[in-house]
């Protein structure tokens, strides 16, 4: 029952974000939902460079994008 309630809350949040983005457009202003989500995404991206930086130069460069994709995928699983 708790899992269903958690998913319902998550779905409600995503619907709210969707309507806010549709109402405001995809401008990266200094405020709003898109700016907040961009900030969260930036943190994951930059952390990927540091985390994967110990494995060599190529993976350090690719690690930003890799982490940017991996973290949401892991959270969604």
The ranges assigned to domains in the chain are 2-76
Q: How far apart are CA 45 and CA 35, in angstroms?
A: 15
Phi, psi of 56 (to 5 degrees): 120, 165
Q: Which of 17-26, 53-62, 64-73 has the lowest mean pLDDT?
A: 17-26
Res 20: pLDDT: 77
Q: Which pLDDT belongs to residue 27?
A: 61
Tens digits of per-residue pLDDT, 34-61? 666 666 777 888 888 999 999 999 988 8
Predicted pLDDT at 12: 92
């Amino acid at each position: 029952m708790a899992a269903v309630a958690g998913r319902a809350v998550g779905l409600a949040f995503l619907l709210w974000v969707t309507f806010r983005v549709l109402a405001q457009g995809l401008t990266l202003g200094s405020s709003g939902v898109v700016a907040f989500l961009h900030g969260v995404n930036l943190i994951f991206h930059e952390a990927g460079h540091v985390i994967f930086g110990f494995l060599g130069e190529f993976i350090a460069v690719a690690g930003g994008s890799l982490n940017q994709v991996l973290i949401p995928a892991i959270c969604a699983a």
